[in-house]
Amino acid sequence: MAKSKVAVIGNGIAGFSSASTIKRLDDGSDVTVFSEESVPLYSACVLPNYISGSISRERVFVRDLEDYKRLGLRTIFGCTVKEIDRVAKKVFTSDGQIFSFDKLVFATGSEAVLFGERKKGIFKLKSLKDADDLLAHKGRRAVVVGSGAIGLEVAIALHLKGYKVAVIEMLESLLPMALDKHGAEKVREIIEGQGIEVYLGESATVVVGGESVQGLVTSRRSLECDTLIWAVGMRPRVTLARELGLKLGEKGGIRVDSHMETSFPGIYACGDCVETDDMFTGAPSLNLFWHNANRQGAIAARNCIGLRRAYPGSQNILNVDLFGNHVVGFGHTETAMRRSCHKNGDDPTDLSVIEKEEVDRYFRIVLFKDRCVGAQFINVEKDLGLVLNIMSLRKELKSIQRVFDKRTSISQKGWLGRINPLFLSGK
């Protein structure tokens, strides 16, 4: 049998995970990894820690170039893939090289959403280069637009570096994708208590300044700044896929089946660029998280070499540390569920919430039709895995509650015991 040639486009976690899995399971295959960046795999999730200075630049890297050699992966780093011919099965790079392939894995990832023109002092945070640029820039007053996990983490990192930081959020609460109003209010108290300004319900309208940024005008006020960071979200990078004619989903990602195969047989996609079914609700969604990309990469790789393996769905797990406060969000918020109820014509009275607050601890569980679809925790550190598993299984809460109703108390480190009040206090 001839060596099967696999081209992996992208060297994020999805690309690396698929390339290394293919090589591990099928040693004879010839795997080539294409990447625009010329650095080995690094973790974009810890870039805020790098900016704040809590970890060094070397620690951002997850693998080094030696690892690629050891795994036997061919690397074409530092050049863009210009075109793909799926009939002739060839990849054309921008510097004129041509590679043929039998199977192709798309792992092009995502890109930060930007508005307005580019000026000196305007940054995003997606790649290591962005972080390096931000560190090279010396500023004193920063405005962060967007209050997702990246926005808040960058705001905190810059605050720790001595910047005066303001966060602008278009919606009415912080971390809008992960927390409902009450939890978000607690987060706001934490953030503001440390001296970061928070402006909610305001949208950025005009960026002031000539060559370099001097301020930002929002819908309610004007803020002076020398550093502006766009953290309004990520979107899948699908330009290449669109040119190739791959079917895109309703959310804008590459649509894949449960085996991570795109609309063209033999072409797989994984990572931030794909749209998959949500594990908690089953609806198509973009869940641009590290762990999803990691799993999708491994599953795409298995299917690529003929080992059929289905993808169980994406999980939305947000985990941020805000000045020592551990904020965790699983799945969907009540607000988001209400919106989707309205869209799908479901009855919003099926939604219910279990909520509890003790001093600085807080949790909220969102239930829809007796199934757990979302959970939010602040400073609750134990038993979260159990809730996550219950959510992933999509089991009816009744069946789980039957177990908990049997009045069992567990005295020490009780993962069952501590979850117990959580289910008994609700319905």
Partner 1 sequence: MDKTLVLRPERCTGCHSCEMVCSLTHDGECNLNLSRIGVMKTNGGGTNENIPVVCQQCNDAICADVCIMGAISRDEATGALLVNEDLCVGCKTCVVACPLGGVLYHYVKKCAMKCDLCGGDPECVKSCLYGALDYLPLDSWGWRQRRKGSENLGQLFEVVYGK
113 is an interface residue for partner 1 by CB under 8 A: no
What minimum distance in Å lies between the beta carbon of 92 and partner 1? 31
Distances (CA, A) of 213 to 115, 123, 138, 160, 168: 14, 11, 13, 22, 16
Q: Answer yes or no whether residue 138 interacts with partner 1 by CB under 8 A.
A: no
Q: CB of residue 414 vs partner 1: minimum separation in angstroms? A: 6
CA torsion sign for 306, 307, 310, 316 is negative
Instruction: By CB under 8 A, name the one of 13, 134, 228, 234 that touches partner 1.
Output: 13
Q: Does 386 bind partner 1 (CB under 8 A)?
A: yes
Binding partner 1 (rule: CB under 8 A), the pick from 23, 295, 302, 371 is 295
Nearer to partner 1, 138 or 407 (CB): 407
The strand pairing partners of 351, in sequence order, are 368
Helix (H, G, I), strand (E, B) or coil at 6: strand
Separation between Cα atoms, residue 123 and residue 167, nearest integer Å:
14
Name the residue nearer to partner 1 (CB basis): 94 or 408: 408
Q: Kindly tell me which residue out of 38, 94, 389, 399 binds partner 1, with binding defined by CB under 8 A.
A: 389
- Give the HSE-up count for residue 179: Cα atoms under 13 Å, Cβ half-sphere: 25
Tokens of 292: 């999803």
**CA-to-CA dists, residue 117 to 82, 170, 212, 224, 378, angstroms:** 25, 19, 11, 18, 37
Phi, psi of 346 (to 5 degrees): -80, 165
Q: Which is nearer to partner 1, 98 or 424 (CB)?
A: 424
For partner 1, the closer CB: 349 or 411:
411
Phi and psi, residue 3, nearest 5° = -60, 130
Here the tokens at position 333 are: 């918020």
Question: Judged by CB under 8 A, does residue 238 bind partner 1?
Answer: no
Total interface residues for partner 1 by CB under 8 A: 39
Residue of 97, 222, 239, 408 that binds partner 1 (CB under 8 A)? 408
> Is 270 marked active-site?
no
384 contacts partner 1 (rule: CB under 8 A):
yes
Residue 406 within binding range of partner 1, rule CB under 8 A: yes
**Which residues, 6 or more positions from 185, have their beta carbon under 8 angstroms from its beta carbon?**
173
Min CB(348)–partner 1 separation in Å:
29
Site for partner 1 in 24-43 (CB under 8 A): 41, 43
- Using CB under 8 A, which of 129, 220, 247, 382 touches partner 1? 382
In the list 410, 421, 424, 425, the residue contacting partner 1 (rule: CB under 8 A) is 410
The strand order across the sheet containing 317-322 reads: 317-322, 325-331, 371-378, 361-368, 351-358
Q: 217, 208 in Cβ contact below 8 A?
A: yes
Q: Which amino acid would we find at residue 396?
A: E
**Is 316 among the residues that bind partner 1 (CB under 8 A)?**
no
> Which tokens in the block code for residue 386?
């159990």
Q: Residue 400 interacts with partner 1 (CB under 8 A)? A: no
Which residues of the shown chain bind partner 1 in the complex (CB under 8 A)?
Answer: 13, 41, 43, 45-46, 49, 55, 59, 62-63, 290-291, 294-295, 317, 319, 321, 326, 328, 381-386, 388-389, 403, 406-416
Q: Would you please indicate which residues are annotated as catalytic (active-site) residues?
A: 45
